[in-house]
Amino acid sequence: MTTPLPNTITGRFAPSPTGLLHTGSLVAAVGSWLISKSMGGRWLLRIDDLDAPRLKPETVDHILQTLEAFNLFWDGEISWQSRHLQEYAAAFETLKQKGLVFPCDCSRKEIALAASAPHQEDDCLTYPGTCRDGLRDDAVMRSWRIRVPDEEICFNDLRLGEICQNLTKTCGDIVLRRADDVFSYQLAVVVDDYLTGVNQVVRGDDLLSSTPRQIHIQQALGLPQPAYCHLPLVTGHDGAKLSKRDNLVSVNPGNVQTDRNKLLFSILEFIGQQPPPELKGSDCSELLEWGIASFKTEQIPLKSGELKLL
C-alpha cells in the first residue's frame, strides 16, 4: 500500500482490462495525470480486475505500454483490485456489524418489473426496497445491499460545481456483495482509494452518477472523501459515448495508429487547455511539461463532444 505525505494530492487512473485503451479512456488518463501533477501531486495506477468473466488479461501489458508511450508514467507500484479481497471483506463486515446491510433475494427482472424506468444516465434500475424488512419465505439470497437515505447527497465537482443526488430515487439500496461472494464495483472502489491514499478522483462523466453512491459508502465506513472532477466524454458523430471498440489508441500491433504527439495535442485542446500553436510539432514529454505548468481546471468544457484531431 502507498502512504502519501500529508496534504499531498494523490490521483489515480483505474482502467479495467476488458479491452484496449480507446480515445475516451486516454482523455481520462491525461486529464487525471495533468490535474494531479499540476498540483504537485502523485498519480497512481490501479488495475480494476474484479469483473472476471469479462477480463482479458493479455490487455494489461498493452494498457501499460500505451500509457508509457504517451509518457504517462505512474508513481509507485501498480495496485490490483483482485489483491484486495480481504480488505473488501473487512469493510463489508464493518457495515454488517453496524446494521447497515441486508440480504436481498430480488432478481434484476423482478426489480425491473417493480421499479420505475431505469435512470437514464447509467441505466440503473431503481431498487424498491423489497427485502429491507427481511427475505421472503423460501427465498434464495442473491445479494447483500446497503441501505441508502431518502435525502440528497451532495459534493462539489471541480468542473461541474455542486452535484446532488437522492439515492432512494435514482438507484435505491446499493448492492455491495453478491451471493457468490463477488464484491461490487462501488464498494471496491471506495476501499481501493482509501487503501492507496487517493484523495483526488478524476474520471469521465459516465461515472458521475456513481460518485454519490460511493460517498454514501465512504460515510458509512467513516472514510475521508476525495475531491472529484468528472471530465467531458469523447463522443462519436451521433453524440453517443465511444465504445471500447472505437478509436483504439493502444500500441498493440495491428491497431490503426494516430500520431501520438498530435493526438495528445488534440486531447489538451479537448479538455479546454490552449497549447500554443508552436507546440504542434512537440513530442509527448514536452506537451505534458507545458500541461503541468499551464493547466487550468476552470477551462475544462462543461459539455462532451467530438475530439478533433490535427
Average pLDDT over residues 82-96: 96
pLDDT band for position 67 (50/70/90)?
A: very high
**% residues pLDDT > 70 (the chain):** 87
> Over the chain, what is the mean pLDDT?
88
In terms of domains, do 209 and 69 share one? yes
Over residues 181-230, the pLDDT tens digits come to 899 999 999 999 999 999 999 999 999 999 999 999 999 999 999 999 99
- pLDDT for the residue numbered 309: 76
In the structure grid, which three cell numbers stand for residue 37, read together? 501533477
pLDDT band for position 55 (50/70/90)?
A: confident
CB atoms within 10 A of CB 133: 7
In terms of domains, do 182 and 200 share one? no
In terms of domains, do 118 and 55 share one? no
Cα-only R_g, the chain: 20
Domain finish residue from 186, 208, 231: 186
CATH no. for residue 255?
Answer: 3.40.50.620
* pTM above threshold 0.95: no
**Residue range of the domain that includes 73:** 10-82+196-299
Over residues 112-146, the pLDDT tens digits come to 665 443 344 455 778 888 888 888 777 788 899 99
In terms of domains, do 176 and 257 share one? no
Taking Cα atoms as reference points, which of 261, 219, 232 lies closest to residue 100?
219
In terms of domains, do 221 and 266 share one? yes
Establish if 191 belongs to a structural domain. no
**% residues pLDDT > 90 (the chain):** 65
In terms of domains, do 52 and 20 share one? yes
In terms of domains, do 200 and 65 share one? yes
Residue at grid coordinates 480481504: 86
Establish if 225 belongs to a structural domain. yes
Domain finish residue from 152, 186, 220: 186
- pLDDT for the residue numbered 107: 81
CATH no. for residue 156?
Answer: 3.90.800.10
